[in-house]
Structure 1
Amino acid sequence: MAGSYKVDFKSLKQRVGIDDVAYSLGYRLDKRAGVGRYVELVLGDQHSRRDTIVICNHRNKEAQTYFRRDGGAGDVITFIRENLSSFNVAGKSEWAKIANVLAKFANMPEVSCEDKVYTRKTASQTEFDINRFEIKRVSADTLPYLFAKRGFNLDTLNAFKEHICFIKDKMNDRFNGYNIGFPYSRSADGNIEGFEIRGATGFKGKAAGTNSNSAAWLADIKGCRESVDHLYFFESAFDAMAFYQINKPRISHQNMAFVSLGGTFSDMQ
């Protein structure tokens, strides 16, 4: 009966490859990069690549891993997790949603409970550590290419700059540069519990261990969190910034705040 069994992440990984998930999201094989031990999948066309992933062990679904040259790496579960907002699935937690995505690709019914042994193990391995990152402030003088490429102007950057930073993952030996980080928190004290990340070559994801269950990116751009009267929710921080820039003449009088969940709501959010 549908929903009457417990998901086994390890077993599902034997049936679902990173390439299966990537192709469903619109990635395609880059034949110019060659097909050998590694394959490259690209999102977008040759004139506008939004993302490129390199898949290792592509002939063995269970052993497949991926990495990006400008940051980000993992297995099929990591890849689903960073693209979770692209799948129309429900679940009481982020892990429940990931389990249901895997079940769909494996042609199995949705699940009612998670593999708690696996999720505890994975969570302990990826507990968020702020000391892992070098953090730099964003200013109008350091407007990066990625912001300009997406059409954001200086007014928009100035409005959000207190809620954006440059981050460098000191444990990433494949990329020694900075990405754009949108800090996640869940209280007024502003303690950072993760980052939504965007990179110059299309990389998008979250920092290892980011609290996606009860934290979010919150930008109260007028600095009056206690008296906010308009709250806008988005799937990404870039979406929030784009909405603000387009609608600024209409909403500038509001005491507003913007929230990015990096996907869909969890029960605790």
Structure 2
Amino acid sequence: MAPADYKVKFKELKSRVGIDDVAYSLGYRLDRKAGVGRYIELVLGEGRDKRDTIIVSNRRDKASQTFFRRDGSKGDVVSFIRENLSSFNVIGLTEWQKIAKVMAQFANMPEPDYDRDRDYVRSASAPQVFDPSRYRVKELDAANIPRLFAQRGLSADTVKALAPFISLVSDRRNENFNGYNIGFPYTEAGSDKTVGYEIRGVSGYKSKAAGTNSSTAAWVADLSHGNNGLVRHVFFCESAFDAMAFFQLNRPRLGEDIALVSLGGTFSDRQVLGVMERFPNARAYDCFDNDLAGRINGLRLMALVEEIPLKITKTPEGLMVEAKGKSFPVSPDRSAYTQFEPHISVRYRMGQWQPPKDFKDWNDCLLGKRSSIKILPTKHDRDDNLAEQRASGLKI
């Protein structure tokens, strides 16, 4: 396949996949009261649970579709898929490959041939450069905590404890919203320089600052007072709010030799490896969500930390894992760790501390928001989790 063929094929993918197609699959609904013309309004959730609203242009021409929000954020189908990449069960070496796989699935077309046109993939997926001058930044005032934290169940004590790792940010280029959102600064190993933000705002608004480095940087709250060598436990979560909820729910048992990490949903290998380079004496913990994407994230984390090459394939029943010449199924209803360990030896560097089985994530657990389908832990799961925490030296 020639490079030109690959380019045409990717453009053809974009011409066949609309933002509305992706949004409907994620549970968005058409708000007919807003009108149905050149623009349509798609809403995720209802009433008090309304989590997002996007306005889509050119509804009849998928190749030309773009979206925007009233807060000023906007993009095309690629950026919309990127925002929601953790909702799709795809696996790839890079974020770009995962996005292309999602588009191929919607278009019912073959995936692009990455190996035979690497130069094009690299140029097409070249990230924006984060421009710190674009954002006004303020320190979080512990005496004037944004209400959004309380709405997520987070206490003033929790916010104050983590305030050094949280900022308030405002996008100078956003003409529709000149207020401040909550920003969780991303940093790289060996540097305190901010290279992006995980951003959260009212009405379920979430995004990342333009050009945020999600390849080698992450939100890291080092509670060892900067002595990285003292950190013994690193807790990986899918979002900063999940990490804060985990901290609040388990704080009496954690001590101060810990670091909380948000990878912002899907993650790259270098994000995880960079975090572990900061804390060479620490053990990594899978605190990801209780869903299929969370199980995949947990397996990937384990593979990176334990240096075990593995292949993960989605099946109608869940996942099929291939590692060290062995192949075995992994059910999303049970801990991936307990299903993996009987087949492949896992050393001391990996542990898990996932949300209780009837909650999707740690923030839902804090809010008491149970999943629609309750997954009960088996006796094996309970025994293994108890043994894990005892072996880690954590207080229980």
Q: Does the CA contact (< 8 Å) of 1:6 and 1:115 recur in 2?
A: no
Match of 2:178 in 1: 176
Match of 2:250 in 1: 247
Distance in 1 between the 2:171 and 2:126 partners? 18
Is 105-114 or 41-50 further displaced after alignment?
105-114
Displacement of 1:120: 2.8
Q: Does 1:46 align with 2:41?
A: no
Match of 1:138 in 2: 140
**Per-residue deviation, residues 104-129 of structure 1 (Å, max 9, x unmatched):** 111123444177547636646x3211
The count of corresponding residues between Structure 1 and Structure 2 is: 264
Q: 1:20-169, aligned counterparts within 5 Å?
A: 20-113=21-114, 116-117=119-120, 120=123, 123=126, 126-169=128-171
Distance in 1 between the 2:200 and 2:167 partners? 11
Match of 2:196 in 1: 194
Distance in 2 between the 1:37 and 1:141 partners? 46
Distance in 1 between the 2:119 and 2:15 partners? 18
Distance in 2 between the 1:112 and 1:182 partners? 36
Unaligned runs of 5+ in 2: 272-396
**Per-residue deviation, residues 174-202 of structure 1 (Å, max 9, x unmatched):** 22221111111112321111111111122
Match of 1:237 in 2: 240
Distance in 1 between the 2:232 and 2:94 partners? 28
**One-letter amino acid of the structure 1 residue matched with residue 247 of structure 2:** Y
Distance in 1 between the 2:69 and 2:125 partners? 21
Change (3 A) 1:56 1:49: same
Q: Does the CA contact (< 8 Å) of 1:183 and 1:196 recur in 2?
A: yes
Q: Does 1:225 align with 2:224?
A: no
- Taking structure 1 as the reference length, the TM-score comes to 0.91
Change (3 A) 1:116 1:177: farther
Distance in 2 between the 1:110 and 1:166 partners? 40
**One-letter amino acid of the structure 1 residue matched with residue 91 of structure 2:** A
Distance in 1 between the 2:118 and 2:243 partners? 34
Displacement of 1:10: 2.3
Q: Does 1:204 align with 2:237?
A: no
**One-letter amino acid of the structure 2 residue matched with residue 79 of structure 1:** F
Q: Does the CA contact (< 8 Å) of 1:18 and 1:64 recur in 2?
A: yes
**One-letter amino acid of the structure 2 residue matched with residue 102 of structure 1:** M
**One-letter amino acid of the structure 2 residue matched with residue 47 of structure 1:** R
Change (3 A) 1:122 1:170: farther
Q: Does the CA contact (< 8 Å) of 1:128 and 1:194 recur in 2?
A: yes
Displacement of 1:236: 0.7
Aligned residues with identical type, % of pairs: 56
- Partner SS state of residue 27, structure 2: coil
Unaligned runs of 5+ in 1: none
Q: Does the CA contact (< 8 Å) of 1:52 and 1:202 recur in 2?
A: no
Match of 1:17 in 2: 18
Larger helix proportion of the pair? 2
Q: Does the CA contact (< 8 Å) of 1:198 and 1:204 recur in 2?
A: yes
Q: Does the CA contact (< 8 Å) of 1:42 and 1:49 recur in 2?
A: yes
Distance in 1 between the 2:179 and 2:199 partners? 13
**Per-residue deviation, residues 35-88 of structure 1 (Å, max 9, x unmatched):** 122111111112221111111112211111111112421001111111111111
Distance in 2 between the 1:53 and 1:76 partners? 12
Distance in 2 between the 1:76 and 1:134 partners? 28
- Higher RCO (CA 8 Å, separation ≥ 6 residues): 1
**Per-residue deviation, residues 200-224 of structure 1 (Å, max 9, x unmatched):** 1222111111111111111113423
Distance in 2 between the 1:236 and 1:257 partners? 14
Match of 1:185 in 2: 187
Is 110-119 or 181-190 further displaced after alignment?
110-119
Q: Does the CA contact (< 8 Å) of 1:72 and 1:203 recur in 2?
A: no
